[in-house]
Amino acid sequence: MWYLRPRISSICVNLYPTNPAAVDDNLCSQILRNSLDPGAVNVMISGSKLPKPRTVNDLLNGDYGTLVSNERKIRQGQWKGPVRVIHGMLDPLQNPNDKRVEGFVNLRQGIDPTPINCGHCPHDELPADCAVALHEWIQTTFSSKTELLV
């Protein structure tokens, strides 16, 4: 990771195309600090050793699994509540033209995708837009309910 550290700022600026000013010294120093932790390289390397990623169907319908007989088992259909998906449409690490966001609504009822015109980290790049999207969704989704599902 030594070769990435001097480029943290420029890498992040590419990930935040609509608000490169969000890449400040604090963000870069946090990323640098995390990269210096013992074992950080092992975390990066472990990405290639992880099991095959779970499908979006599994993530939205499962309960993230339980340990049964030392195997990860997925109990389908545990979470039926509403889900808001905020997706940066200018994300250089994902292909925003692959209709992924629109595909979420076809998985099951209660999935509400919200594309935002930003990059990889909408909550950092345009936090006000994400806050408005979440606030409106919470008001609309839970206005008639007496308690929130957590």
Q: Of 128, 105, 108, 109, nearest to 118 (Cα)? A: 128
Does the residue 128 lie in any domain?
Answer: yes
| Pair (91, 110) in one structural domain | yes
Domain containing residue 18: 1-50
Tokens 């890449």 locate to 23
| Pair (90, 122) in one structural domain | yes
| Pair (36, 68) in one structural domain | no
| Pair (72, 88) in one structural domain | no
pTM given for the model: 0.66
| Pair (102, 137) in one structural domain | yes
Q: Of 129, 59, 54, 140, nearest to 88 (Cα)? A: 129
The percent of residues in the chain predicted with pLDDT above 70, rounded, is 66
| Pair (93, 113) in one structural domain | yes
Q: Of 21, 27, 29, nearest to 118 (Cα)? A: 21
- pLDDT (tens digit per residue) in 31-49: 899 888 888 877 777 655 6
Does the residue 150 lie in any domain?
Answer: no
| Pair (136, 112) in one structural domain | yes
- pLDDT (tens digit per residue) in 86-122: 888 898 887 766 676 667 777 778 888 888 999 988 9
How many distinct structural domains can be found in the chain? 3
- pLDDT (tens digit per residue) in 45-65: 765 565 665 666 666 655 444
Does the residue 97 lie in any domain?
Answer: yes
Does the residue 42 lie in any domain?
Answer: yes
How far is Cα 74 from Cα 65, in angstroms, rounded to an integer? 4
Does the residue 88 lie in any domain?
Answer: yes
